[in-house]
Every structure is written in structure tokens, then in C-alpha cells.
A and B are shown apart, each in its own frame.
With several copies, the nearest count.
Chain A
Amino acid sequence: MIEIILLFSSVLFIFALKLFGRPSTAHRANTFAILAMGLAVFSAFNFDFSKYDSVFYITIFVSGLLGVVISKRVQMTQMPELVGLFNGFGGGASGAIAYVELSKSTLPLSDYFVAIFSMAIGMFTFSGSVVAVLKLRGKLNANYSTIATIFTAFLPPLLLLPGIWDSLFLERWGISILTLEYFILLSLIGGIVRVAVIGGADMPVVIAFLNSLSGIAAMSAGFIVNSIILIIAGALVGASGIILTLLMCSAMNRTILQVLKGGFGSTKVNNEYEKDPISTSPEDVAIQLSYAESVVIVPGYGMAVAQAQAAVKELTNTLKDKDIDVKFAIHPVAGRMPGHMNVLLAEVDIDYDDMYTLEEINREFSSIDVVIVLGANDVVNPLARTDETSPIYGMPILDVDLAKQVIIVKRSMSPGYAGIANPLFINDNSKMLFADAKEGLEKIVKSFELV
């Protein structure tokens, strides 16, 4: 009976993953996944709920409540942090399970290595995720690559140590608790160091990668506790995390190893501009827009930081009222998480059909009257097409420079994540509106009333 429930639950997990693949079925996907999870959890009890004491149930209840509260409170712009944090939790849980199993002396030999693997991956995921979250929040900016190099160099002897230790002091074959704890420490430090060297804007890739690791940790925990559903769900998450990571990397034209090695954007390149940009005012922008027939808005990281979604919606409404065609051009790695811009725009009810992917919109730019680049930078940098020495060379970009007029809304001339100058800013058909994305847009909307 239990086995049939588990079979059913596995099938549901797979269909959930499949349904996540289409916008029209994605919300059903979540329901499927919840159902699958519910069945799996239910069957784990094996119809014997009395084996568990009240502390157990209270823990589940309280943490479930906590989960709901956190998830309801968080703002959509903080999504990446939240996913990162939860990831760490999942990894930590798997690591803890593996530790408990390892400290039992009854574990069969073949499971030892799987368990140590699961423990290490889980703990690595945990500490790595915490660092990733801190980086995303901007709480950790320094470059830790020297520490990382030293740590990596010392890792092999550090890993050998417990073997020597155990063979000296341990009588039965196995692993001492002390060694286990030492391994945990190493994994935790490993997670911290590895993530610390990676630049803040690469955190989305790191989070997808850690997500994959947390799946792998769960999968290997499944091998220890003999749970097929754990193995299947873990494998699904592990594999989907990997492919997501690879997709993201290829959208930035970098390999996963380059990303994980870290240090991106730290090499200094020539950031001088040959001439001054033309700057403009909200009033002028409003006038310009009112003469346009087609407008494309390119949201970027700055839009998310400034929380300018509502203002974007307001401007869109204003423009549509004047029968101006408004489209959104979404670069695959714009913002802080893949697909993040789509979510932020959907949050303020911007029509799904108005959001265009890179391939779709790039064909159209030459016939667009005005493009508004809103806190985006690297994803519209034409050097990716022209300058072979540029670190972003080869990354597919939005060809906004082909449009008739480009207005860039950002606070200064400072570079984006890749740390390089953007010649788009000094193009003849570009104008800079120096402002916070939200305030800038609000002023433009206000100016419309005066036009």
C-alpha cells in the first residue's frame, strides 16, 4: 500500500516538473508538486503516527508556520535571497541526517561513503547558501580569492589528517565522531570560501548550482535511509539544477567553471569615455515619448534594486492611453535571477504578451521609435558584439542601439556588473536621464500631465 502511494508520488513529481515547463500549466505544476510531497510525507509515517512524540509534531507545525510567514512577508525583489536561504536549509537538513546515520555504528560499510558524501555536500550547500544570501544583500563585497587559494592548497592534507587520526585512536573499523565533526567543519568552511570568491552578480548561477547540490544531497540521503522517493525527487532536483546552471552560463557566454572560479569583473579595463554623454530631463523624455508610436522598455538590475515596478506600470498605462505601443525586452540574465524581470513585471500586472525574449525583440529594434533602458547596463552593451577583448564579448545582447532613440535611466555613468564602460551611453541617438529608476519614471509620468 505504502509502496503504491510512493509510486504515485514519484509519478506526480515528474509530471509536476513537466508542467513547470509551460506558462499555461505552471501553476498546476505547483499543486502537483505539493500533492506529491504530501503523499510522500504521509507515506513516510507508514500509518503509525503514535511512534512520534509531541516535540516532533510541534517542531513540524512551528517550522511549517514559520515557512508560510517568511514566504508571505518577502518582497518579490528579495526572491533570490529567499530561494538561496531555503536551499541552504534543504542542504543542511540532508547533511544533518547523514551525520546522525553516520554516528550510528550499525551502518553497512557500503553506505559509509555515500553518507560522508551526503554530509559533506549538505553542509557545503548550507554554508555556501548563507554566504550567497549575504552577497546578494550586499553585505559581503570584498574579494576573498587569496584565502580561497590557500584553503584549496591545504585541502588535501586536511582531508588526510582524520584518516591518520582514526587509524591511531580508533579500535573498530569506522569513523570517529570527532572525525565526522571535523569533516563537517571542513565542508562548512569549503562552502563559505568557494562562494565568497564569486562576484555578487554571479550569485544567481551559484544559487542554481547550490540548488542542484541540495538535490544531490537529498538523493544520497535517500540511498542511506533506503527511500526511493528521496532518490527520485533528489535526482530530479539535482539534474534540473545542473541544466538550469548551464543554461544561465551559456546566456552569459561563459562556462560553469569560469563562473565558479570566481574573480569575474575584478580585472580593470579602460573605462574612460571619449566624450560626454547627452543628458536629458524627465520633461524632455515625456515630450519625446508623446511623439513616439512604439516604445520598448528594457528593465535591468537597477529596476529591481530601485523597486520601480509600480512606476513602470504607471508609465505603461500612460503611454497606452495615448495609443503608443509598449513592449518589454527581457534579457535572459537581466536582474538578479533568471526570469526575475518577468516575475517583477508580472507582479504589477504587466501583460505576459507584452514581454519579449531577446530573439523575438532583436528583430524589431530598428523599427522602434524610443527605447527606455531602465537600470540595465551589460545586457545592452554593444561591446559584446564588437570588442573581442571585452570580458562580455560573445554574450548575446539586446540590440537597443539600432533603435531610433535610446533613453538610459540610471544614477551615474558607473559601470554594471561586468565593470566595463558602455559605448551605448555616448551614442548619437542616446540620452542619459540621471536618476534613480523609480523616481525618474515617476517624474516622467508627472511631466506627461503638463505636456
Chain B
Amino acid sequence: METIFLLTLLITFLASFIGYELISKIPQTLHTPLMSGSNAISGITLIAAILIYPEVGESQFLKIIVLTALALATINIVGGFSVTGRILEMFKKND
């Protein structure tokens, strides 16, 4: 368990480092699609909603909260990717 935790910490660091490095060389033109794309990715918390939904048990109240999280995250993901696609489409037709 402790090893897993430390490996996880390491992964967190490595992923953050990669995020930082990759973005620090992005050209300004792509800042809008990038913001919109990474915004969509932040909806990844949908996974958490899926994972815990079967475990909330009886409580209707908690169920509704998980469903709310589910809805918010789904809108974030689907809407985010779809709007990023629209933005990028505008660049693409230029090529």
C-alpha cells in the first residue's frame, strides 16, 4: 500500500511536469483551443462519479449529488470537446 502511494505521488509529479513542459512551448494562436481542450479534460472527474455511484447506498440525497456531479462532468466533457472541435475546425479549413 505504501509503495503504491509513493508510486502514485511520483506519477502525479511526472504528469504535472509533462503538463508544464508541453504547454510552455505552445504558440499563442493555440491558446484558445488549448484552454478549451484542457477544460474538457478536467471533466475527467466523471470517472469518479461512475466509480462511486454504485456505492452510495440507500441515501437518496447522496444519490442526487452524485447524479449532479455526473451531469456537470458530462456537460463539461461533451460540450468542451465539441466546442474545441468547432474552434479547431476554423483553423483546419485554412490549411
Residues of B within 8 A of A87 (CB): 39, 42, 76
Partner of B38, one of A223, A241, A342: A241
Contact A90 B52 (CB under 8 A): no
| Distance of A11 Cα from B34 Cα, bound (Å) | 18
Q: A17-B23, A44-B50, A83-B39 are in contact. Are A100 and B62 (CB under 8 A)?
A: yes
**B residues 38-78 in Cβ contact with A at 8 Å:** 38-54, 56, 62, 65-78
Tell me which of A144-152, A347-355, A363-371, A405-413 binds B: A347-355
| Distance of A211 Cα from B36 Cα, bound (Å) | 9
| Distance of A349 Cα from B32 Cα, bound (Å) | 17
- The interface size bin for chain B is 35 or more
How many residue pairs, one in A and one in B, have C-beta atoms under 8 Å apart? 350
Q: Is A225 an interface residue (CB 8 A)?
A: yes
Contact B23 A101 (CB under 8 A): no
Contact B38 A215 (CB under 8 A): yes
**B residues 1-24 in Cβ contact with A at 8 Å:** 2-3, 6-24
Contact A352 B94 (CB under 8 A): yes
Residues of B within 8 A of A96 (CB): 65-66, 68-69, 72
Partner of B31, one of A86, A93, A244: A244
| Distance of A21 Cα from B82 Cα, bound (Å) | 19
**A contacts with B, residue count (CB < 8 A):** 110
Contact A330 B28 (CB under 8 A): yes
Contact B16 A93 (CB under 8 A): no
Contact A86 B15 (CB under 8 A): no
Q: A3-B6, A243-B23, A332-B28 are in contact. Are A68 and B82 (CB under 8 A)?
A: yes
Q: Which chain B residue has the least Cβ–Cβ distance from A331?
A: B28
Residues of A within 8 A of B45 (CB): 90, 93-94, 97, 217-218, 221, 230, 234
| Distance of A355 Cα from B30 Cα, bound (Å) | 13
Contact B70 A3 (CB under 8 A): no
Residues of A within 8 A of B21 (CB): 18
Partner of B34, one of A14, A217, A244: A244
Contact A86 B79 (CB under 8 A): yes
Contact A83 B15 (CB under 8 A): no
Contact B10 A7 (CB under 8 A): yes
Residues of A within 8 A of B68 (CB): 92-93, 96
Q: A27-B92, A231-B11, A240-B22 are in contact. Are A218 and B42 (CB under 8 A)?
A: yes
Partner of A56, one of B2, B20, B67, B87: B67
Q: Which chain B residue has the least Cβ–Cβ distance from A234?
A: B44
Q: Is A259 an interface residue (CB 8 A)?
A: no
Residues of A within 8 A of B11 (CB): 228, 231-232
Q: Tell me how far the C-beta of B30 lies from the nearest C-beta in chain A, rounded to whole angstroms.
A: 6
Q: Which residues of B come within 8 Å of A, CB atoms? A: 2-3, 6-54, 56, 62, 65-95
